[in-house]
Structure 1
Amino acid sequence: MRRREPLGEGGAAEIQRLRLQLRIQAAVIAAQQVEARFREERFERATQAARMGLWECDLRTEALRWSGGVYDLFGLPRDRPPDRRSTLNQYVPTSRSRLTSVRAQAITDGTGFTLDSEIVTPAGQHRWIRLTATVDRQDGVPVRLFGMKQDVTDDLLLLERTRRLAECDSLTDLANRAGFEARLRDPVAALLLIDLDGFKAVNDTHGHQAGDQCLRETARRLRLTCRKGDLLARLGGDEFAVVVERPVSPEAAALYAQGIIDALCRPVDGDGRRFPIGASVGIALSGPAPLDLYACADAALYAAKAAGRGTFRLFDAAADPPIRSAGITGARAAG
């Protein structure tokens, strides 16, 4: 057996130096681990406060990885690995369809996307999330999607409230002129302009409170009479409008107008009094040639008022003369 030579002073010092270096390295590693945990906890708190989280999807296996914030957004326990199929089922049908389409296009093009989608948590709570995604490629092949998901429910609700305040009539809760004009920028089938008959007399004789009561009752009756999907608006004073979404024939538009007149011609009861009001309606139908529907409906309304009120007139650019009423089949028209 070979005898071990005792270390000299130089060898012992080298060992001491190496031990000290190892202890320093261990302390540095421990400090880095503490710092990493601190940064991770700080990031988790920050994302939780911002109601957001990070996510990624392996496109080869469809496996998902989420940060804690995404689990919280979807209302799922953090100890259960996320499953893409069940996660997709939390999106409402329209959002799910849109997400599937945008995601597929992004993978094909290799571009990212940002999309607002509506989800439903297991507890039945509806939330809007803003999803951002980036495509990661290897050798030109998409292999990963990653990005961020953030709860934007409150932001969108505030935006909707702001929009409603800007486009809603506070007295009747119908669309106001701004909302009406915004809708008319897109194609519509027809426009009905309504002017209350006898409103000025009620307002002048019984005061603005009685006038406001008549306006609110008019809005209520219009909601009951008009078709679902058509935009109802108060344009100001005693003028209302119905924007017709689906195509209608002149005969159907005339019947629609007559139904509105019948609904609005009944007196309004309030505070033990009866306020007699009625309505005149001007109709304009869209056609192959571009028309200023508002100007056409306004001309028809003017003709209806001139014909004795309580009736309608229809502007049809294809007819001669363009403003008519009595020849419309099945409609009762005065004048």
Structure 2
Amino acid sequence: MNHINSKNFDEAASEILDKRLGFLDLYDQAAPLVPIGAWSCDLASEQLSWTDGVFDMFGLPTDEALDREATIELYSEESRELLEQKRSQAIENRDGFTLDARIVRPDGIDRWIRITAATRGSNGRTETLFGMKQDITDDRMRWELLRAQAECDPLTGVANRTRFQRFLDQPGNGPALDDVGTLILFDIDDFKLINDRWGHAAGDACLVNLAERLRKFFVNAHLVSRIGGDEFAVLLPSSVSRTQTKVELQALIASLLRPMQWNGYLLTLKVSVGFAFAGKDGKYNPRTLFATADEALYCAKNRKIFPTA
């Protein structure tokens, strides 16, 4: 039988302890460099435990008793639904998850946090959720800025085709499509003649003018986008009725007929319009909606009339 020397055992245990304490000390020194904290939740009692870093993220005092229902209310509606969905799946499958979520602190400050979660349990049952939470607000803002720049038309300032394509590429009846009511397409008639007669600078001025008028007129639009050389798309919410949409379009066309000033000249825009309504039950396909609106635009340009249906 091998005998373990107690002195060697004590030395080994002491070395392990020193290493752990050294790691914890290093963690304490590094933690302030990155807004991060640890958390756990006992599933039997729903009792939360947070380190100071998580309290700081949520803008809550460290001596405040944690109530899970109250903290969940600090999440945005979309983030809250995703969190509950991923949480339930993790508990059922005894698995982990990662989620970027938006919270609104009690002081009204918006923050983005990245939640990393794992599970712990016994006898095939999940008993505890635990993990880390990191404040990624600055990273998120930089990412949103880069995305906005990548999806902005540099001439007119409205969204570009890439942004509109993201709408088209969404699956039918996806969560982002629930509030879509109408897609409207605008196309400048005889745009090539404007460029040929007045020059491309005049053509650019017409595009900028049309984009600005669309943006000001449709203040509640989900999206105003330049999707082609002289073609624009406007995506309206379902709260705008079909009758209201037609009335507003008639008023807009009359407004667009007012000449615009350019280098001492008056230029008049002639614009054709095509539109399509999403189903009243909210069920539709983005590409089908676009095809319908595009066909209406084609008919309007050929007939030189404003579509009525």
Shorter-chain TM-score bucket reads 0.7 to 0.9
Relative to structure 1, is the Cα distance of residues 214 and 80 closer, same or farther in structure 2, using a 3 angstrom cutoff? same
| Post-superposition CA distance 1:116-153 (Å, at most 9, x none) | 21112344321111112222113333321111111222
Matched, 1:71 2:55: yes
Contact 2:220-2:236 within 8 A present in 1 as well? no
Number of aligned residue pairs: give it. 292
Cα shift at 1:87: 2.8
Aligned-pair identity (%): 41
Unaligned runs of 5+ residues in structure 1 are 1-20, 314-324, 329-335
**For the residues of structure 1 that align with 2:25 and 2:18, how far apart are their CA atoms?**
10
Work out which of the residue numbers 140, 143, 149 in structure 2 matches 1:165: 149
Work out which of the residue numbers 300, 303, 308 in structure 1 matches 2:299: 303
Amino acid at match of 1:75: G
Matched, 1:87 2:82: no
Could you say which residue in structure 1 is the equivalent of 2:270?
278
- TM-score of the superposition, structure 1-length normalised? 0.70
Contact 2:221-2:234 within 8 A present in 1 as well? no
Name which structure has the greater RCO, CA cutoff 8 Å, separation 6+.
2
Matched, 1:264 2:256: yes
- TM-score of the superposition, structure 2-length normalised? 0.75
**For the residues of structure 1 that align with 2:61 and 2:271, how far apart are their CA atoms?**
59
Relative to structure 1, is the Cα distance of residues 301 and 59 closer, same or farther in structure 2, using a 3 angstrom cutoff? closer
Could you say which residue in structure 2 is the equivalent of 1:237?
229
Q: Aligned Cα RMSD in Å? A: 3.7
Contact 2:221-2:235 within 8 A present in 1 as well? no
SS in 1 for 2:227: strand
Cα shift at 1:251: 6.1
Work out which of the residue numbers 206, 227, 249 in structure 2 matches 1:214: 206
Contact 2:220-2:237 within 8 A present in 1 as well? no
Cα shift at 1:281: 1.1
Matched, 1:62 2:58: no
Matched, 1:184 2:176: no
Relative to structure 1, is the Cα distance of residues 214 and 140 closer, same or farther in structure 2, using a 3 angstrom cutoff? same
Moved more, 98-107 or 30-39: 30-39
Moved more, 265-274 or 161-170: 265-274
Contact 2:104-2:111 within 8 A present in 1 as well? yes
Q: Which has the larger radius of gyration?
A: 1
Moved more, 184-193 or 281-290: 281-290
Contact 1:111-1:135 within 8 A present in 2 as well? yes
Amino acid at match of 1:312: F
